[in-house]
Amino acid sequence: MEINGKIETILKIESGQSKQGKEWKKLGFTILTDDKYNNVKYFEIWSALKIDSFLNDFKIKDHIKVYFNIKCNAYKDRYFTNLEAWKFELFTNDLPDLPTPEDYEHQDDVDGSDDLPF
């Protein structure tokens, strides 16, 4: 899935150790979308490499596109849903630049003939 919006907050990096003894790092951030309701979305980044990339490339108020997965975990008959970002980039409008009238070169009828068939 993907969504775009403006970065509102970047939280501090959290780290710890899993039950299996593996070290982990997590960075959370929020974006503000153009949606009318529920326009703040919270994402988590779990890869140390992606965290470093995010912190080096983006800052608060940047307009970004976030690619993410929705993850749900069950714990003691309760469910927890997370939005896990796996790719992010500066948001640019993908529409090509349309030509303006000034871009067209006006050609006058040189010999005075009219090429119209009627």
What is the structure's pLDDT at 11? 97
Three-state SS at 44: strand
Low-confidence ranges of the chain (pLDDT < 50): none
pLDDT of residue 115: 66
Instruction: State how far Cα 105 lies from the chain centre.
Output: 38
Instruction: Give residue 109's pLDDT.
Output: 53
pLDDT of the residue at 53? 95
Q: What is the pLDDT of residue 84?
A: 97
CB 64 within 8 A of CB 5: yes
**Is the CATH number of domain 2-94 2.40.50.140?**
yes
Per-domain residue ranges for the chain? 2-94
On the 0-12 / 13-18 / 19+ scale of CB atoms within 10 A, 6 is middle
Neighbours of 54 (CB within 10 A): 20
Q: What residues form DSSP beta bridges with 107?
A: none
Are 83 and 68 in contact by the 8 Å Cβ rule? The answer is yes
List the beta bridge partners of residue 112.
Answer: none
Q: What is the predicted pLDDT for the residue at 1?
A: 95
